[in-house]
């Protein structure tokens, strides 16, 4: 896509985001995070993720929780990581269910609970999230 096309695309997402569209906020966040179609700006990406997450958009909640867990762009905060991932998982987002299952499996920011870990990993896997298989296998075969 041409530079003009990229500018128009980014402008369209910004227009939608400014009108309250959470998915557009999230998409803009990804664009700023990766530097695709806009100039890379990880702080702006986090701002966009937070707006979408506060609007209840599950993919943004998951990604924001992951960012708090990693602590690369925002300060590492396990409590915030768990909070955002749990909000996303509670909406049924498979990637968040898998991540939360791992938190329960290893007791990251929440008490260790193998039953919840297994349940969440199974639900995520059954919803098509292949990465949940590793967590499910760890629960089933005692690799925690």
Res 143: pLDDT: 56
pLDDT (average), residues 119-137:
92
Beta-carbon contacts of 2 under 8 Å, excluding residues fewer than 6 positions away, are none
How far apart CA 67 and CA 144 sit, in angstroms, is: 23
pLDDT band at 85, cuts 50/70/90? very high
43, with CB counted inside 10 A (0-12, 13-18, 19+), is exposed
Q: What 3-state class would DSSP assign to 126?
A: helix
For residue 3, what pLDDT band results from cuts at 50, 70 and 90?
Answer: low
Confidence of residue 1 (pLDDT cuts 50, 70, 90): low
Contact 94, 124 (CB under 8 A): yes
Rounded distance, CA 38 to CA 72, Å? 20
CA distances from 84 to 56, 67, 99 (A): 10, 10, 11
> Mean pLDDT over all residues of the chain?
91
- Token look-up 């609970």 returns 113
Task: Report the candidate in 36, 35, 31, 84 with the shortest Cα–Cα distance to residue 59.
Answer: 84
Share of the chain above pLDDT 70, in %: 92
pLDDT at 144 over 50: no
Q: Tokens 């309250």 identify what position?
A: 20
pLDDT tens-digit series, residues 63-80: 999 999 999 999 999 999
Instruction: Quick: pLDDT tens for 6-60.
Output: 566 777 888 898 899 999 999 999 999 999 888 999 999 999 999 999 999 999 9
Cα separation values, 96 from 5, 13, 18, 36, 75, Å: 33, 25, 26, 24, 20
Greatest pairwise CA separation for the chain in angstroms:
54
pLDDT category of residue 113 using cuts at 50, 70 and 90: very high
């Amino acid at each position: 896509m041409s530079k003009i096309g990229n500018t128009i695309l980014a402008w369209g997402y910004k227009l939608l985001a400014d009108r309250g569209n959470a998915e557009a906020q999230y998409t803009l966040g990804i664009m700023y995070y990766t530097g695709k179609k806009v100039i890379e700006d990880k702080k702006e990406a986090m701002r966009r993720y937070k707006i979408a997450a506060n609007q209840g958009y599950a993919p943004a909640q998951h990604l924001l929780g992951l960012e708090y867990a990693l602590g690369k762009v925002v300060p590492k905060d396990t409590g915030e990581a768990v909070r955002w991932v749990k909000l996303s998982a509670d909406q049924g987002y498979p990637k968040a269910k898998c991540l939360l299952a791992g938190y329960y499996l290893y007791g990251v920011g929440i008490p260790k609970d193998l039953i919840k870990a297994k349940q969440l990993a199974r639900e995520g896997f059954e919803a098509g999230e292949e990465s949940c298989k590793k967590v499910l296998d760890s629960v089933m075969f005692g690799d925690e």
